[in-house]
Every structure is written in C-alpha cells, then in structure tokens.
Amino acid sequence: VGAFEPFKNTESALENCNSLSEGHLHPDLLNFLEANLPRKKKKVVTLAVGDSRLASAISEQITGIKCQISGVVPELMRGIRIHFEHLVKDLPHHSLSKAQLSLGHGYSRKKVKFDVHRVDNMVIQSIALLDQLDKDINLFGMRIREWYSYHFPELFKLVPDQLNYVKCASIIMDRKNLDDEVIGKLNEVLEDNDKVVEIVEAARTSMGMDISDLDLFNVLRFAKRVDELTVYRQELHIYVKERMHSCAPSLSALIGEQV
C-alpha cells in the first residue's frame, strides 16, 4: 500500500460516507489525493474509482487525472476489501468490525431521519394505495355482480354503475321482498324513480334462482366491505388532493393529483 490515512473520528467517517453516497468529493479525500497521487507533467495519471459520480467530481477538481470505473476496477476493489487487513497492518483490525457497525448505524440513522421529513414520501405511498384500491374495488365489485346475478340477473343491466350496483344489491337482497321501505332506499341511491320502477318490475319477473338466507347474508357482508372500501378511497383521494396542493400546487394543477 503506497498511502493510507484512517479517519480521524466517527464524525469524520460519517461525513465522508455521506459525501461518497451522494457523489461528492469530500475535502479530506481531496487533500489525500492531492498529497499522494504522483505528478507527471506530460502523462495523465489513471485513478481507479468505484463510483461514476465520484469519478466525475474528482476529474472536475483535480487536473491531470483520468478516472477509470470499469474493466479491472471492480475486481481490484473486491480484492482490496477481501485482503484489507493484510494490506494495512497498522490498523487495529480487532475493532474494525465494531467501527463499521457503528458507522453503518449512523449512516442509516441519518438517511432515515432525512427521508422521514420529506412530505412527498407520504404522498407517494397514498397514491400507490389509491391505485391498489381502484383495482381491488373493481375486482370485488365484479365478484358481487357475478355472485348476486345468480339471484337477480336483470339488475346487472339495469344498474351499470358498479358502486350503485353494490348499494342496490345490499338494499334489495331477496328480490321477493321489495316493500315500500326498500323502494325508498333505492330511490335515495339511484335518484331516478323510473329506474327504480324498472328494478321492481324486473324483480317480480326475474329468471334468477332462489337463494338461501345464509348466502344472502354473505353477499350482504361482502357488499358492505366493498362499500366501506369505496368510502375510504374517496377520503384518501381528498387527502392526496390536499397534500398535493400544499406541497406541489403547480404540478397538481397541470397534471392532476395522481401522478
């Protein structure tokens, strides 16, 4: 080993580690390179670097240096890591693993602390959840349509909207028991008296099979779950809309909240 310089303390090691992860050239590394790299007036010195961003930073700040990141460089880096304790004998290797563990904890703690305060992380997760909810609600709604159509197949065409279908199915349940209370609830959901009349007429002449109370109960439970998911999806969309308007108003105005 031609030159080796240990970190002064844990804080210095953490600063250098953060700089390397971001592709910046830390002053400690800059001073080390300037002090130990050979200076040749006419020839360009080739320096093996393991990170492309760091290589660019070194080339910008130190003249006469050609950084190489491919070819044999990865193998050289791997060999240095494996045989490090044989190459640098003055370093107390018995405590090196503890120092590495401490540095790893400090680096991870700083990264997590940095990321937690980013508002967009919460928005990203919420948008991903919205997409997943859309898929789930659509799948569950189709399952209810298929399930309830055994009992009341005509409702499928009469109520094309999936959410309204789920609500109507949970209100009607047994098509033979369409009383005034059920009809009133259907009017509240559909807000179309003619459509409700069509549903009542279709229920009286339906070709669907009879279904047991236990099966109807399971359909009702499933329909309520889908309805609750739909309500939650609407509330989540409002949340995303408000957060996007607060953290990225221009972007949300241009392309909407769900990026």
Res 226: pLDDT: 92
For residue 52, the Cα-to-chain-centroid distance in whole angstroms is 27
Res 150: pLDDT: 92
Each as own residue / partner, the long-range contacts of residues 27-34 (CB below 8 Å, 24 or more positions apart, any chain) are 30/61, 30/62, 32/3, 32/5, 33/58, 33/62, 33/65, 34/62
Res 145: pLDDT: 92
DSSP assignment of 136-199? HHHHHHHHHHHHHTTT-TTHHHH--SHHHHHHHHHHHSSGGG--HHHHHHHHHHH--HHHHHHH
Res 112: pLDDT: 64
What does the DSSP 8-state code read for residue 95?
G
With tokens 């409002």, the residue in question is 238
Report the alpha-carbon angle 162-168-171, nearest 5.
145
Provide the residue-wise pLDDT of the chain in tens; the chain has 259 residues. Answer: 678 887 888 888 888 888 888 888 888 888 888 888 877 666 778 888 888 888 888 888 888 788 888 888 889 888 888 887 777 777 776 677 778 888 888 888 777 665 544 667 788 888 899 999 999 999 999 999 999 999 999 999 999 988 899 999 999 989 888 888 999 999 999 988 999 999 999 999 999 998 888 999 999 999 999 999 999 999 999 998 888 777 777 766 766 655 5
Quick one: tokens of 24? 């910046």
Give the Cα separation of 57 and 33 in Å (integer): 13
User: Would you kindly state where each structural domain of the chain is located, as residue ranges?
Assistant: 10-114, 120-255
Quick one: tokens of 2? 């031609």
Q: Which CATH number does 120-255 carry?
A: 1.10.287.4070
Query: pTM of the prediction?
Result: 0.52
Res 116: pLDDT: 47
Expressed in angstroms, the distance from the first to the final Cα of the chain is: 52
